[in-house]
Structure 1
Amino acid sequence: MEKTRIALEANNLWYRYSVSQQWVLKNINFFVKEGETVAIVGPFGCGKTTLFRVLTGIAEKVYGGELRGEIRIFGKPVSEYSSKELTRHIGILFQNPMLQFIEYVVEDDLYSFAEKYYSDHNYIERQIETVLDFFGIKKLRKKRVFELSGGELRKVAIAKLMMLKPRILLMDEPLLWLDQRGVESFLKLLNILKSLGLTIVISEHRVLPLIPFVDKIIIMDNGHISSIKDVKKVLEDSVKEREYVFQSNRITVGMNNILENYPLDRLVASKCMKDLCLENVWFKYSKRSPWVLREVNFSAKLGELVVILGDNGSGKTTLLKIISGMLKPTRGRVIILGYNPAKKKNEVYFVPQVHHVSFSEETVFDEVAKIVCSGKNKHRNCEETVIKILEQYGLVDKLYESPYNLSWGQQLLLNIVLAILSERRIILFDEPTTGLSYADKIAIARIIRRMGSLRILTTHDVDFAAMLKPSRLYMITGGKLYLIDVGAFIEKTIPIVKSAYELLKDILGEKLVGDIDVLDLA
């Protein structure tokens, strides 16, 4: 019987960035067998992203720094491969797949990419036809890249990589920004890639959907590998009650479940009696473009926590921008605290999906100090107050770091701290769980639930919506807003959320998934 080869191996890896004396990776050792699918997970700041950068060669090329130890590909040190040889062996899917495109049209981009490696134009044409057909993306060939959804971008990016017939695929956060449909589409693609015998290494925060597809999970903490779990063995040892979590190849409930199991009540226009009101709001971005929002009627009062569910492209972000005053409705009107949104902008705080666009200062301290140490919020002992606030939210060790260098979850947490300190009466959250680990979701849910403002939150994360236990729950689909029976939703969803949590805790441990009991979901 032929012995399984080691496809990827890391031996005694240490790495630190050029701007720091601290080692980010500390004595990393692991191997991945040929044909295995492995997930690398860990809390924010654990070194997971840095490890991915080191494995792909980006760390030294882009960030400089110091690297010790050795990486081997099929037994041969990486240093002995030419760049062209490495590209043939390893395909890399970046966190933002848009960075992997250079042409405007899909077909043109595939051709330009293949042209770098092959000189025979007929062969290139055949390769393009093969990958378009194999991955079921022929309908995308004439599309412009910016028209593609997140899931479609990843499909095309992987199809490009497969033209070089790599033996190893490295994927950085492939589920980032994907809604349920996008995740399901990616998982089907992952199954195809596994069937080809590829060795696949995935760095990901959203571990739950990947569990049925991975062989091992490498868990990182504070720059070390804390443990390596054999997923199949853990699942065999799990209690039988959790098996129903895997029904229908899904671990958590999703948007389709909402549509099928809950009655959706259209909201009709009524007299504005509350603190926030939208009356018969319609919106489109230009005269010739389709309607993004249609007949939206919505009202809320201060102190409520309102969640709006919807898939990507459903109009969630547009709705929040209209409430905030960033956009004006094409038809209808918006009233905030009795006035036009333009007159009440100082009462609304918008926490965007891309967190760093909110920052303007050089350090985390300065971001907090600009609120704490100025205007009506000015504190006498400014520096001491800032430090206490950052201690309260677990960011004190990032005091003098640039907010742009924080992890995704830390940037969100800083944004929420700034929102709380702003003392705005209405706070809007756009997809706050993007890129978060399960523990971070629990922590963020707890903070948002404790806030006293009117909180309006959009998400495609149904589990997170249940964790929040909102005052009211809506769904936006086809540009229209519908009310969902929040009591029935929570009653049906919480048991599934708890089971998924217990399963994750078995595999990853409580430190990585958090303590769901703090949310009092019973």
Structure 2
Amino acid sequence: MNLVSVKSLSVAVGFKNFPVLKDISFTLEKGEALLVVGPTGAGKSTLLLTLSGVIPELVHGKVEGEVRVAGHNPTEEGLKGLAGDVGIVFQDPEAQVVMETVFDEVAFPLENLRYSKDEITRRVEDALLKAGLAEYSSEETDPLSTGLKQRLALASALSYEPKVLLLDEPTSHIDPASSKRIYEVLKSYKERGGALIMVEHRLEYVEGIIDKILFIDAGKGVLCRNFEELVAKVGLEGLTEAGIWLPTPLLGRFFTNAPTVPADRLIPGANTVVKTVNLSVRANGKRILNSISLEVREGEIVAIIGPNGSGKTTLLKTLAGFTRRYTGEVSVLGGPPDYSKVAYTTQVPELQFTERTVAEEVASSLLVRGFSKQEALKVARRELEARGLAHLSDRLLYEISQGEKRLISLLETELLDRKLYLLDEPTFGLDFKNTLSVLSWVRRLASKGKTVLFVTHDSWVLPLLPLTAVVGLSEGTVVFRGTLQELLVRKNVWDRLAFLPPAELAEESSVSGAARAIENYRKKVVGVYEFSKKAQPHS
């Protein structure tokens, strides 16, 4: 008997008449895993919300077709009917964490399911250990980094061992090493008979887990057994146009004669844009940053990496002027840090939104620059159209997908037209095509003399940028500063940084060898995705 059965599913969200999903069908048995892929805004999250009963119980929508999940009809039974049998981890962990402490957050669903006190304690401790959160058990949830909250949401869902687990980009904010460990936990869950339905852009993590792939584009689904069958059914051109990131070993088999890709070389200017000397930050009795000393010049692109909770976001917030309580020296563009000097993109897009519709939100950046409201809206609509986002102009911000929210947050940041850009995980939640667009935009900013500091857990994007430096944080301290080539050779710091590069770059032992490996990696990826031609919507 199928644990999950979906037949001819169509879903319209809100009060719209047109369906987001059209005629989707698939089945899953115990111990099977389905990977859902598709371009940004294709309806992947809508599928998971429908299977969990969130649509139509909490989010208004019209659901047609037959859906059975762990013996339940989610459309009729809703969240209460599925409780205990179906777990879900939302794309935005901030929307899922509700309790004051980490322990209480994981215990919350167990208490609702009436587990005994001793059993609750055992299950909470086990779930926190699996999620790498055992040391945070008594911590408050609010100060946790977004990545730690994402791991917490997963621990909470795993604690009661649901029959079906729905995961919407469960590692989008999580460092590479922790992501790998989490998928080992999920593989074990699957081997015990659990069924997984997951949306994930970082496909190298799921290759050994998935049994089926559902490709969704324009609301319609194509079901396949593996990536090779997906390429055969949809075509390589169709997948790349949709922004689907295929594992790089597979790319090599499909594209062996990629053109030579000229290496980007940035020459930073003479002026110092950011300088910190012994910068330290404490919060809630804990030291978040410890004696950070950095100097960044105009025109540089600097990547900031490190494990969840290492202080990366706090560093950006301090440079942006949002963290006022610090010790040491901080100079931004020749003076104290202030948000009016910089263009800052938050890790969670919703945290920077202030308006109702997409066009109004984009226009808000132009109002800051002195545009009239009428002119700001006119320019905002023009910029949205230039980037292929005109269809979102009049949509309410809460209606659009997480990936679309990320694109809007980056666009409004770009339109501030500042000398310093501070970007917190700019590529999270994006398909590969849009990721390349963002990377192309970052390169053009630097070519115009702008300075870019960005936080990322997407280690595979690092070789695709002309980075001037990589800064690695661990427990609030800089443990690495150098080039990407040097980082690939310095394997002794990888564990402290929770860093895992793409497999093709992981075995190099010399800086020159690492440089060649990066060039080959870029050639393979850029050749297939036509980086220089397709990644232009931010121009």
- TM bucket, shorter chain: 0.7 to 0.9
1:327 aligns with 2:320: no
- Partner deviation per Cα, 1:38-81 (whole Å, 9 max, x = no partner): 11111121111111111111111012222111112467755786
Q: 1:12 to 1:492 in 2, by over 3 A?
A: same
Question: How far did residue 371 of structure 1 move?
Answer: 4.4
Equivalent position to 1:391, from 360, 385, 400: 385
Instruction: Indicate whether 1:471 and 2:464 are aligned.
Output: no
Q: Does 1:357 align with 2:351?
A: yes
Find the residue that maps to 1:211 and give its secondary structure: coil
Task: Tell me how far apart the structure 2 counterparts of residues 280 and 335 of structure 1 sit (CA, whole Å).
Answer: 9
Local SS of the residue matching 2:427: coil
- C-alpha deviation, 1:16, in angstroms: 1.3
Counterpart for residue 33 of structure 2: 37
User: 2:151 aligned with 1:156, yes or no?
Assistant: no
For 1:431 and 1:300, locate their aligned partners in 2 and report how far apart those are by CA, in whole Å: 21
Decide which of 62, 68, 84 is 2:58's aligned counterpart: 62
**Amino acid of the residue matched to residue 435 of structure 1?**
G
> Is 1:223 matched up with 2:216?
no
Query: In 2 relative to 1, CA 241–93 (structure 1 residues): closer, same or farther, beyond 3 Å?
Result: closer
Q: Provide the residue aligned with 1:507 in structure 2.
A: none
Kindly indicate whether residue 517 of structure 2 is the aligned counterpart of residue 492 of structure 1: yes
Change (3 A) 1:333 1:175: same
Counterpart residue identity of residue 403, structure 2: G
Indicate how the Cα distance of structure 1 residues 399 and 324 shifts in structure 2: closer, same or farther if over 3 A, else same.
Answer: same
SS at match of 1:183: helix
Q: Which residue of 1 aligns with 2:294?
A: 297
- Paired residue for 1:129, among 114, 117, 122? 122
Return the letter of the residue paired with 1:230. R
Distance 2:290 2:74 in 1: 52
CA distance in 1, matches of 2:311, 2:210: 34
Q: Distance in 2 between matches of 1:80 and 1:297?
A: 57
Deviations 1:420-441 (A, max 9, x none): 3222111111111222222221
Q: SS of 2:286's equivalent?
A: coil
| Stretches of structure 1 lacking an aligned partner (at least 5 in a row) | 246-271, 503-509
Could you say if the C-alpha distance between residues 429 and 72 of structure 1 is closer, same or farther in structure 2, counting changes exceeding 3 Å? same
Change over 3 Å in CA distance of 1:276–1:437 after alignment to 2: same
SS of alignment partner, residue 6 of structure 1:
coil
Alpha carbons of structure 1 residues 145 and 223: separation in structure 2 relative to 1, 3 Å: farther
How far residue 20 of structure 1 moved from its aligned partner, in angstroms, is: 1.7
Larger radius of gyration: 1
- Asked if the contact 1:350/1:427 (under 8 Å) is kept, the reply is yes
Post-superposition Cα deviations, 1:65-103, rounded to whole Å, max 9, x if no partner, equal 221111124677557869766334323333345666655
- Tell me if structure 1 keeps the 8 A contact 2:164–2:194: yes
Corresponding residue number in structure 1 for 2:171: 175
Report the Cα offset of residue 228 of structure 1.
Answer: 1.7
Q: What are the ranges of 5 or more consecutive residues in structure 2 without an aligned counterpart?
A: 237-245, 253-268, 486-510
Identity of aligned residues (%): 24
Question: Does 2:200 align with 1:193?
Answer: no
Do structure 1's residue 86 and structure 2's residue 89 form an aligned pair?
no
Structure 1 residues 240 and 174, CA, compared in 2 at 3 Å: closer, same or farther? closer
- How many Å separate the matches in 1 of 2:290 and 2:325? 9
Distance in 2, matches of 1:240 and 1:468, equals 19
- How far, CA to CA, are the matches of 1:211 and 1:81 in structure 2? 33
What corresponds to 2:490 in structure 1?
A: none
TM-score with structure 1 length normalisation?
Answer: 0.78
Maintained 8 Å contact 1:293/1:315: no
CA shift at 1:294, angstroms? Answer: 1.4
Contact 2:320 2:342 in 1 (8 A): yes
> Is the Cα contact below 8 Å between 1:106 and 1:143 reproduced in 2?
yes
Check conservation: 1:446, 1:518, Cα contact below 8 A: no
Moved more, 379-388 or 43-52: 379-388
The answer (yes or no) to whether the contact 1:429–1:455 under 8 Å persists in 2 is yes
Is 1:71 aligned to 2:67, yes or no? yes
- Residue by residue over 1:225-262, the C-alpha shift from the partner in whole angstroms, topping out at 9 and shown as x without a partner, is 1x2221276599999993899xxxxxxxxxxxxxxxxx
CA contact (8 A) 1:97 1:154 kept: yes
Q: Provide Cα deviations, 1:96-132, integer angstroms capped at 9, x if missing partner.
A: 456666554555555553343347x4xx624653674
TM-score, normalized by length of structure 2? 0.76
Alignment of 1:248-267 (within 5 A): none
Equivalent residue number for residue 205 of structure 1: 201
Cα distance in 2, alignment partners of residues 98 and 240 from structure 1: 30
1:407 to 393, 401, 407: 401
Moved more, 426-435 or 493-502: 493-502
Give the conservation status (yes or no) of the 8 Å contact 1:18–1:65: yes
Distance 1:465 1:198, change over 3 A: same
Letter in 2 for 1:468: L
Deviations 1:123-173 (A, max 9, x none): x624653674588459469534627734641453133221xxx32222222
- Counterpart check, 1:242 vs 2:240: no
Alignment length, in residue pairs?
470
Map 1:278-317; keep pairs closer than 5 Å: 278-286=275-283, 288-290=285-287, 292-301=289-298, 303-317=299-313
Q: Aligned to 2:58, what secondary structure does the other structure show?
A: helix
Q: Is the 8 A contact 2:36 2:213 kept in 1?
A: yes
* One-letter amino acid matched to 2:83: T
Q: Partner residue of 2:332?
A: 336
> CA 1:180/1:141 → structure 2, altered by over 3 Å: closer, same or farther?
closer
Q: CA deviation at 1:332?
A: 2.7
- 1:48 and 2:44 aligned: yes
The answer to whether the 8 Å contact 2:127/2:155 transfers is no
CA distance in 2, matches of 1:136, 1:356: 30
Q: 1:304 to 1:296 in 2, by over 3 A?
A: same
Secondary structure in 1 aligned to 2:41?
coil
